[in-house]
């Protein structure tokens, strides 16, 4: 038991390291993905919230002031950068479409675990490298953030990453049935851009849609962690988010497993 856990850990640690090494081969790509894109998005969102405030005749919106929205915009873009999966989903889909998957299928390592470890490794690297920016900005501009809430937020984010990867695994498995699945990735990520709360805080959605949006597992991709850090919600919302992600993981895991088994059965060993 102990030996199998050690070997499981070493295997996954090696895959995570491989992901980091591969990404460092393309430093400019990494810089754009991890720093440039969230900086641009934050700038746009902060400008928008300033614009809304300067045009409107109000001092609070939905009970929160401009500082709260600026802090939300700042954190949400960086957190969502961590919780969004474009690159590894595309890589998984491409592996299936092109037959590169052969290299994993015939090795004693599951495709799901291989990419989960890479995804987690890369995202941890991105998180450590980029979250310093919103931390510094929040400190410098005195934006509302409760730093003591950060540890629980990180736990939720890591749990959510497993869910995100499972969704990506499900989407990529369409590669067994379709020639190109990139449009699915694009569509899914646009929907998540809204449903995660990256674009705006989900508590601005009118009822009853607000309750549904906040209860969905996707809200843990930005809204719940950021709203908790910036004081828009309390810890009970985080516990509900854990339950929601767990349920989402079960449902998505089942669906992904069905897609994968069906796909592998019809797979023709492309490229060989």
Partner 1 sequence: MIRHALKPCNLEIEAGQIIGLVGSNGAGKTTLLKLLSGLIHPSSGAAEVLGFTPWKREPAFLKQISLLLGQKAQLWWDLPAADSFRLLTEIYELEPEESRRRWRQLAQRLRCEEQLNIQLRRLSLGERMKMEIIGSLLHHPKILFLDEPTIGLDVVAQETIREFLGEYVREFRPTIILTSHYMDDISQLADRLLLISRGEIVFDGAVEEFVESRAGLRAQGEEDLDFEEIIREFLEEESRRR
- The whole-angstrom separation of Cα 33 and Cα 270 is 31
- Percentages helix, strand, coil for the chain (3-state, rounded to 5) are 80, 0, 20
Site membership for partner 1, residue 28 (CB under 8 A): no
CB-nearer residue toward partner 1: 52 or 103: 103
Please name which of 145, 122, 126, 118 lies closest in space to residue 38, comparing C-alpha atoms. Answer: 126
CB-nearer residue toward partner 1: 121 or 134: 121
Site membership for partner 1, residue 107 (CB under 8 A): yes
Site membership for partner 1, residue 264 (CB under 8 A): yes
Question: Using the rule CB under 8 A, which residue among 11, 149, 210, 240 binds partner 1?
Answer: 11
Segment interacting with partner 1 (CB under 8 A) among 98-106, 150-158, 169-177, 234-242: 98-106
- Report residue 184 as tokens: 């699915």
- Report residue 266 as tokens: 């019809």
- The whole-angstrom separation of Cα 118 and Cα 114 is 6
For the chain, helix (H) and strand (E) counts, in that order, are: 13, 0
Question: Using the rule CB under 8 A, which residue among 37, 90, 102, 189 binds partner 1?
Answer: 102
CB-nearer residue toward partner 1: 140 or 268: 268
Dihedral angle sign, alpha carbons of residues 9, 11, 15, 21: positive
- Residue 218 per-residue DSSP state: G
157 backbone dihedrals φ, ψ, rounded to 5°:
-65, -45
3-state secondary structure of 90: helix
Question: Using the rule CB under 8 A, which residue among 18, 46, 150, 184 binds partner 1?
Answer: 18
Q: Minimum distance between the CB of residue 14 and partner 1, rounded to whole angstroms?
A: 4
HSE-up of residue 242 (Cα within 13 Å, Cβ side) = 10
Site membership for partner 1, residue 211 (CB under 8 A): no
Count other Cβ atoms within 10 Å, centred on residue 61.
16
Site membership for partner 1, residue 109 (CB under 8 A): yes
Question: Using the rule CB under 8 A, which residue among 56, 63, 108, 206 binds partner 1?
Answer: 108
Segment interacting with partner 1 (CB under 8 A) among 50-58, 94-102, 174-182, 244-252: 94-102
Question: How long a stretch of residues is the chain?
Answer: 272
Site membership for partner 1, residue 267 (CB under 8 A): yes
- The whole-angstrom separation of Cα 13 and Cα 11 is 6
Cis peptide bond N-terminal to 37, omega within 30:
no
Segment interacting with partner 1 (CB under 8 A) among 22-30, 52-60, 80-88, 220-228: 22-30
Question: Using the rule CB under 8 A, which residue among 35, 86, 87, 99 binds partner 1?
Answer: 99
Site membership for partner 1, residue 269 (CB under 8 A): yes
CB-nearer residue toward partner 1: 12 or 84: 12
Interface ranges with partner 1 (CB under 8 A): 7, 10-11, 13-15, 18, 21-22, 25-26, 99-100, 102-103, 105-109, 264-269, 271-272
């Amino acid at each position: 038991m102990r030996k199998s856990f050690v070997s499981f850990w070493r295997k996954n640690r090696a895959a995570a390291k491989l992901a980091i090494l591969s990404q460092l081969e393309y430093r400019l790509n990494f810089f754009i993905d991890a720093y440039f894109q969230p900086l641009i998005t934050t700038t746009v969102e902060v400008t928008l919230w300033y614009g809304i405030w300067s045009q409107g005749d109000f001092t609070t919106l939905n009970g929160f002031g401009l500082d709260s929205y600026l802090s939300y915009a700042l954190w949400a873009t960086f957190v969502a950068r961590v919780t969004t999966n474009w690159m590894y989903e595309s890589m998984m889909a491409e592996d299936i479409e092109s037959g590169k998957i052969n290299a994993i299928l015939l090795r004693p390592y599951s495709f799901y675990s291989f990419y989960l470890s890479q995804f987690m490794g890369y995202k941890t690297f991105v998180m450590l490298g980029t979250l310093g920016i919103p931390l510094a900005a929040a400190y410098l501009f005195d934006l509302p953030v409760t730093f003591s809430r950060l540890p629980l937020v990180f736990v939720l984010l890591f749990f959510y990453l497993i869910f995100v990867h499972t969704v990506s695994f499900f989407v990529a498995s369409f590669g067994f049935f379709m020639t190109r699945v990139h449009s699915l990735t694009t569509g899914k990520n646009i929907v998540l851009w809204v449903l995660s709360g990256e674009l705006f805080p989900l508590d601005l959605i009118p009822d009853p849609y607000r309750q549904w949006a906040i209860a969905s597992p996707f809200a843990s991709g930005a809204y719940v962690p950021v709203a908790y850090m910036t004081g828009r919600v309390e810890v009970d919302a985080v516990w509900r988010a854990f339950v929601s992600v767990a349920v989402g993981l079960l449902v998505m895991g089942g669906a992904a497993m069905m897609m994968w088994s069906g796909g592998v059965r019809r797979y023709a060993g492309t490229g060989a």
